[in-house]
């Protein structure tokens, strides 16, 4: 059981124990708001056996922000949406063949899967296929 600790910095609250004026980023987004320039105002703590999220002393946590200090979300304009689409298109274009493959090619390899397979075949590199014991 997690007890509320309003004296901590930032204060910690148990699941469903935070004041009504505090909300997570997802809750702010559902209200059409964003945190703005405010920092984390409190933490929501809960105990869970699942992994994946950061932990503090074995408890998972979520950052809480003050709804009263939140700002309205910035609307997506047509020009901004077009610029984001162009940037994503540029990222998904293979630098070797210049084709948009629909995924972001590996930066480590420097080419899309098709170019890498063609280069491997030209170099005589054979991929080992696992054999299954019967």
- pLDDT band with cut points at 50, 70 and 90 for residue 46: confident
Average pLDDT estimate for 65-83: 95
Closest CA to 96 of 77, 80, 116: 116
CA distances from 51 to 21, 47, 48, 76 (A): 28, 11, 8, 34
- pLDDT band with cut points at 50, 70 and 90 for residue 86: very high
pTM of the model: 0.59
Average pLDDT estimate for 55-78: 89
Task: Quote the CA–CA distance of 110 and 37 in Å, as a whole number.
Answer: 38
pLDDT for 65:
97
Show me where the domains of the chain are located. Answer: 12-72, 78-123
pLDDT for 68:
96
């Amino acid at each position: 059981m997690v007890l509320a600790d309003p004296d901590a910095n930032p204060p910690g609250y148990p699941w469903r124990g935070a004041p009504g004026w505090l909300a997570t980023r997802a809750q702010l987004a559902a209200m059409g708001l964003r945190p703005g320039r405010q920092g984390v105002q409190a933490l929501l703590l809960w105990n869970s056996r699942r992994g994946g999220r950061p932990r503090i002393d074995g408890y998972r946590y979520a950052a809480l922000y003050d709804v009263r200090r939140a700002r309205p979300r910035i609307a997506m304009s047509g020009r901004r949406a077009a610029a984001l689409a162009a940037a994503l298109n540029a990222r998904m274009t293979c630098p070797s063949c210049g084709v948009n493959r629909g995924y972001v090619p590996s930066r480590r390899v420097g080419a899309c899967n098709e170019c890498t397979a063609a280069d491997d075949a030209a170099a005589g590199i054979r991929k080992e296929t696992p054999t299954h014991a019967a």
